[in-house]
Amino acid sequence: MILFSDNDYHYSNFRQKGDSRMFKSNTLFRPLMLLSLLTVLLSGCAGTPAASNTEATTPQTSAQNQADIASNSPAEPSMRTYTDQAGREVEIPVTPERIVYIGSNPGDLLAIGVKPIGASLSVIASQVAYPDLLEGIEDVGYPYSLEKITALSPDLILFDDWNVEEFETLEKIAPTAVIGADDPIDMPERLKIVADLANQKEAAEKWMAAYEQKVETAKAALNLPDNPTASSLLLLGETMYIMGNQGFNQTLYGRLDLAPTDNVQKLIDQDERFIDVSNELVPDYVGTEIFLLTSTDTETVATQNALLNSSVWKTIPAVQQGRVHIMDSKWNFDDPVTSERLLDELVKTINETN
């Protein structure tokens, strides 16, 4: 979230041409000639029999037949019709090679081994948990620049954003498929959608199998009190947000099975991704485990200090019991790469608090 050829088969046929020898009879040398013929016949019997003319031409004929069959076979289609998340039918490449991604979760592609040629990185590049994977991806800006996207000559544009003002122009640049609509899509389902579009279904299935195993390992490793309730509080500049069904909480509730507080559950039921709150309202939403997502931005640090030193904050039971886990706000994304790396970070952070 932003708060973001055909294969050529070359072959050669070699045809050996035997030398024809004309023998002229000469009565003066007939005995000698007969002796020579007898010698040749005996030598031929002792060696490997020569292949017949039919046998010699069989490989050439077979290769020619295969070439004829290949040339007459229908070519694999290069395009297909895809119905995207907005219900639009779009003609897209079967195997796209130059994808531009517009949205806040390029990790959806990176997790399955697909590096887009361009993505909207200007806001999120310094915020995500995988800067090591962004090298070589051209930033198309946020809001996205039509000029930059056009210059990249994409064969497919994946659109997962709220800014639809220039959407019709995007469609003129390259086939454009909508990944996300108004309702947020949980990461595993979104990964299936992206993998289908990128023709990488097998890679996505392999990734999900490994991830699910890692989730079980992380759950077994967590050292938590009985029946914990959890909530996450995002600090961004001067504003504080209680997270609902987005980002960090997808892992907290959806994978590790921690329970939200009653008021956070109401947000989730209403499909609220987040709400901003004041210091005084924070106690109404936090549980027995508080995850404080913050950064080193000057305004954010000032907001954090004001919260932690407030009298309201100090009255919260989880604060008094030392159950506050301070984490970087880069974890507030729910793409596959972040989700997988977050499992390790949560186990480390929670267990170190005990």
More confident residue, 354 or 227: 227
| Mean pLDDT along residues 256-273 | 95
Indicate the number of domains in the chain: 2
Q: What is the mean pLDDT of the chain?
A: 84
Alpha-carbon distance 19 to 41, whole Å?
18
Answer yes or no: is pLDDT of 18 > 60.
no
Domain hosting 243: range is 225-353
Q: Which residues contact 306 (CB under 8 A, 6 or more apart)?
A: 279
Q: Examine the domain organization and report whether 175 and 232 are in the same domain.
A: no
By percentage, how much of the chain surpasses pLDDT 70?
78
Do the domain assignments include residue 336? yes
Do the domain assignments include residue 112? yes
Q: Examine the domain organization and report whether 184 and 237 are in the same domain.
A: no
More confident residue, 136 or 5: 136
Q: Which residues contact 254 (CB under 8 A, 6 or more apart)?
A: 186
Q: Examine the domain organization and report whether 343 and 298 are in the same domain.
A: yes
Q: Examine the domain organization and report whether 84 and 202 are in the same domain.
A: yes
pLDDT given for residue 314 in this prediction: 97
Judging by DSSP bridges, how do beta strands 274-277 and 239-243 pair with one another?
antiparallel
Q: Examine the domain organization and report whether 95 and 133 are in the same domain.
A: yes
Do the domain assignments include residue 56? no
In the chain, the largest separation of any two C-alpha atoms, in whole Å, equals 132
Do the domain assignments include residue 334? yes
Q: Examine the domain organization and report whether 195 and 245 are in the same domain.
A: no
- Could you tell me if 95 and 87 are in contact, meaning their C-beta atoms sit under 8 angstroms apart? no
Q: Examine the domain organization and report whether 195 and 306 are in the same domain.
A: no
Q: Is residue 59 packed enough to be buried (19+ CB in 10 Å), middle (13-18) or exposed (0-12)? A: exposed
Q: Examine the domain organization and report whether 199 and 154 are in the same domain.
A: yes
Cβ neighbours of 97 (radius 10 Å):
12
Q: Which residues contact 330 (CB under 8 A, 6 or more apart)?
A: 127, 128, 129, 295, 338
Q: Examine the domain organization and report whether 107 and 182 are in the same domain.
A: yes
In which band, very low, low, confident or very high, does the pLDDT at 30 lie, cut at 50, 70 and 90? very low
pLDDT given for residue 128 in this prediction: 97
In which band, very low, low, confident or very high, does the pLDDT at 181 lie, cut at 50, 70 and 90? low
pLDDT given for residue 37 in this prediction: 36
| Mean pLDDT along residues 206-221 | 98
Q: Examine the domain organization and report whether 196 and 283 are in the same domain.
A: no
CATH number at residue 314: 3.40.50.1980
- 52-60 own/partner pairs: CB under 8 Å, 24+ apart: 56/16, 59/13, 60/13, 60/15
Answer yes or no: is pLDDT of 16 > 80.
no
pLDDT in tens, 89-112: 999 999 999 999 999 999 999 999
Answer yes or no: is pLDDT of 318 > 50.
yes
Q: Tokens 């640090």: give the residue.
A: 301
pLDDT given for residue 180 in this prediction: 82
Domain end, chosen from 207, 234, 250, is at 207
Q: Find how far residue 331's CA is from the centre of its chain.
A: 18
Sign of CA dihedral 259, 263, 267, 269: positive
| Mean pLDDT along residues 109-134 | 97
Q: Examine the domain organization and report whether 193 and 271 are in the same domain.
A: no
Which pair of tokens denotes residue 159?
Answer: 């659109």
Q: Examine the domain organization and report whether 311 and 261 are in the same domain.
A: yes
Q: Find how far residue 349's CA is from the centre of its chain.
A: 27
For residue 339, the number of C-alpha atoms closer than 13 Å in the C-beta half-sphere is 31
